[in-house]
């Protein structure tokens, strides 16, 4: 799963990206080149399971982030978004929009203001106009095609693009629409920006950290279907990441921070992608596996290895909460909480699975 990091110049994209990767990001090849890196998803449950089973290895679920340059401060719609910018975002599963909410005279805002709501509106307008241009072009082609061929398949696509056009003309993102399976298949090839889930990240000042939740509530209008808001101070997160663990704890205590805001951001990214985690445990390895909500046990087994999906027999299942509460697999079994589930069982967030298979 991949998330594209975008934002206006001097919004904090580079600071956030390098902090996420603990300063191991590679230099971009050119001005418009994207940088990518894989980040572990923090999960306290995996930490506790590791303490319980003391395995040789612990493996977190991961998310890939892609820092994409090219979103500049010109007036929306005057030049359109650069082709390379759009190409870089074509394959990402969601967008992380970095929004500046801090003052810094050494790094002037490209639009000569610090107004995070106006920046969000600006960026949303850029994305919307980009999508509308693609939709209008395809819509006109389909109209001519339907008049010529009267093909039913083309008629259905035309009807879909008419709905898309109306939505965008009303200045509403495509992510707020519902599509059936056939429509989703058509749209997959287009990778519209406003159809992608979006996380708005407010890059606040250090002095604003104690009021972070209150600030986020001021942006509740931007929370909706497949859209979320969070906040952090990228500079403070960078400082925390550079400290040793004990020093970082003291530093956070002084600021009244329970955990790095970066952890919250990564978890929100994970949730925005519609992902949950199940676990496998044992002496060799404790591991968190990402799957889509609604995935059945057989498909989940395939995430571990294709052979497990092909030869799936049963999934021995217990929930993390029950295991932690009772303290052992044996105790869970005695209480009837260690169950055997079939291939159609829908895996829940926090399930611990042991796949029985035969290939």
pLDDT tens-place string over residues 275-302? 999 999 999 999 999 999 999 999 999 9
pLDDT tens-place string over residues 222-261? 998 899 999 999 999 898 888 888 898 899 888 888 888 8
Under 8 Å between Cβ of 335 and 292: no
Structure tokens at 140: 């006109």
Position 172 confidence tier, pLDDT thresholds 50, 70, 90:
very high
SS3 string, 113-134, reads CCCHHHHHHHHHHHHHHHHHHH
Does residue 111 surpass a pLDDT of 70?
Answer: yes
**For the residues 86-94, what does the mean pLDDT come to?**
89
Spatial distance between the Cα atoms of 98 and 9, rounded to a whole number of angstroms: 10
**Mean pLDDT over the full length of the chain:** 90
Q: Which of 216, 10, 218, 5 shows the shortest CA–CA distance to 112?
A: 10
Under 8 Å between Cβ of 252 and 260: yes
Sheet of 227-232: strand order equals: 35-40, 62-67, 2-7, 94-100, 198-203, 227-232
Give me the pLDDT at residue 28, please: 46
Give me the pLDDT at residue 31, please: 55
Give me the pLDDT at residue 29, please: 44
Spatial distance between the Cα atoms of 101 and 204, rounded to a whole number of angstroms: 5
Position 32 confidence tier, pLDDT thresholds 50, 70, 90:
low
């Amino acid at each position: 799963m991949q998330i594209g990091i975008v934002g206006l110049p001097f919004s904090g994209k580079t600071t956030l990206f390098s902090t996420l990767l603990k300063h191991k990001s590679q230099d971009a090849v050119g001005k418009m080149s994207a940088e990518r890196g894989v980040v572990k998803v923090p999960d306290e449950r995996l930490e506790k399971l590791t303490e319980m089973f003391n395995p040789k290895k612990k493996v977190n679920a991961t998310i890939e982030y892609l820092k994409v340059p090219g979103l500049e401060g010109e007036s929306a719609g005057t030049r359109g978004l650069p082709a390379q910018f759009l190409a870089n975002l074509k394959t990402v599963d969601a967008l992380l929009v970095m929004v500046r909410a801090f003052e810094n005279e050494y790094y002037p805002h490209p639009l000569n203001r610090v107004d995070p709501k106006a920046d969000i509106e600006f960026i949303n307008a850029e994305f919307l106009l980009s999508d509308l241009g693609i939709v209008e072009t395809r819509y006109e082609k389909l109209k001519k095609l339907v008049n010529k061929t009267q093909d039913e398949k083309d008629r259905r696509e035309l009807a879909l693009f008419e709905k898309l056009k109306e939505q965008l003309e009303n200045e509403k993102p495509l992510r707020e629409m519902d599509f059936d399976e056939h429509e989703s298949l058509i749209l997959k090839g287009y990778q519209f920006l406003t159809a992608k889930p979006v996380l708005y990240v407010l890059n606040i000042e250090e002095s604003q950290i104690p009021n972070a939740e209150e600030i986020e509530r001021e942006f509740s209008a931007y929370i909706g279907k497949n859209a979320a808001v969070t906040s952090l101070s990228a500079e403070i997160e960078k400082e925390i990441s550079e400290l040793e663990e004990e020093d970082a704890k003291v530093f956070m205590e002084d600021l009244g921070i329970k955990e790095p805001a970066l952890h919250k951001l990564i978890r929100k990214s994970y949730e925005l992608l519609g992902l949950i985690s199940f676990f496998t445990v044992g002496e060799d390895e404790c591991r968190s596996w990402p799957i889509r909500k609604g995935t059945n046990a057989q498909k989940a087994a395939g995430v571990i290895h294709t052979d497990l999906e092909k030869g799936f027999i049963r999934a021995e299942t217990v929930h993390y909460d029950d295991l932690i509460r009772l303290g052992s697999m044996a105790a869970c079994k005695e209480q009837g909480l260690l169950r055997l589930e079939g291939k159609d069982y829908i895996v829940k967030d926090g399930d611990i699975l042991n796949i029985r298979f035969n290939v």
